[in-house]
A = this chain, B = another copy of it.
């Protein structure tokens, strides 16, 4: 059970109401009056909790779970112990997650503007927004309805934000246009000038950085991640992409839709990434590359060449993962032989 100081729980819900809301089905209609108090994993659930089963590796837990009810797929029903209340769900984990959100709904956004927020008179703030203490909204910014701007964050001049965005505390935003439902976690830095210099003899001169950052709908940017604006043209983060904490996105990078970047990933300037690309933690990509859609880049990889759509790469320099594994395995084997 979650700490009620941070995650207040709603009242228990009738199982009948649960299935009605989620479009699921009770294995035994007589279970409709069972009252679900909380959500919990199979191994820690009590008789008042509902759990879920979706993966064969948890099958041993099904035999011993104390859960009061279980979300389960129709084809897995036979695996559950007799007498267990079952909710038949097409996507049992999703149903569980949706119920978790019903029991622990994110706090309602109470509209308002903190007295200490500094909002320029020319900024347009949509209906239902909440602006926390110390936030700064500069001239000409346009913020859509129902946005939440965190304490001590700064929304720069003329930035545009869609509806239902959540900007965490201590965030900086400039030269940026955001779609709906964008979430920027605390300390994210969006829109600062990129890293570009002109060398003239021994000295470097910073180049003008005349672009923007465009962030699609439903994007999440992790805490303390940084996204530079384009040098000319834009840096783009496609709809539904998720970036973990401490990621670095260089100027003019174009990231497709639905990409997943784990923590501390870095992408150098002007690299273009397709849709649904996944990158493991601490992966790094050189500049001016093209990464095809649905490619997978292993954690810690150093990508120095283009990656074909659908490929999986690993290593420094990154190469197709089978090639990488072949080399590491061969080296291990031969170096042992070599010592004998």
Contacts from A to B (Cβ < 8 Å):
2-3, 5-7, 40-41, 91, 93-94, 97, 100-101, 104, 114, 116, 118, 132-134, 136, 138, 140, 150-154, 156-158, 168-172, 174-175, 183, 185-187, 189, 192-193, 195, 197-198, 200, 202-208, 210-212, 218, 220, 222-224, 226, 228, 232, 240, 242, 244-246, 248, 250, 257-258, 260, 262-264, 266, 268, 276, 281-282, 284, 286, 299-300, 302, 304, 315-317, 323, 326-328, 330-332, 334-336, 338-339
Please pick, from B2, B245, B323, the residue contacting A189 in the complex, using a CB distance under 8 A. Answer: B245
Please pick, from B140, B284, B300, B327, the residue contacting A335 in the complex, using a CB distance under 8 A. Answer: B327
Q: Are B195 and A263 in contact (CB under 8 A)?
A: yes
Please pick, from B150, B212, B332, the residue contacting A3 in the complex, using a CB distance under 8 A. Answer: B212
Please pick, from B198, B284, B331, the residue contacting A299 in the complex, using a CB distance under 8 A. Answer: B284
A183 to B193, CA, bound (A): 11
Q: Are B263 and A202 in contact (CB under 8 A)?
A: no
* Residue of A171, A172, A204, A218 with highest tally of chain B CB at under 10 A: A172
* Residue of A132, A202, A284 with highest tally of chain B CB at under 10 A: A284
Q: Are B332 and A204 in contact (CB under 8 A)?
A: no
**Which residues of B sit under 8 angstroms from A223, Cβ to Cβ?**
172, 189, 192, 226, 228
Describe A's contact surface by its main secondary structure. Answer: loop
A168 to B192, CA, bound (A): 9
Q: Are B281 and A268 in contact (CB under 8 A)?
A: yes
**Which residues of B sit under 8 angstroms from A339, Cβ to Cβ?**
326, 330
Q: Are B240 and A266 in contact (CB under 8 A)?
A: no
Number of copies: 3
Known A-B contacts: A168-B192, A286-B299, A334-B334. Give 19 more (CB < 8 A): A91-B200, A94-B200, A100-B210, A104-B208, A134-B136, A138-B151, A168-B172, A169-B174, A170-B170, A170-B187, A186-B189, A187-B226, A192-B245, A195-B222, A197-B242, A204-B260, A264-B264, A282-B302, A327-B335
Known: A189-B224, A192-B168. A202 touches B258 (CB 8 A): yes
Known: A104-B208, A158-B5, A262-B268. A198 touches B97 (CB 8 A): yes
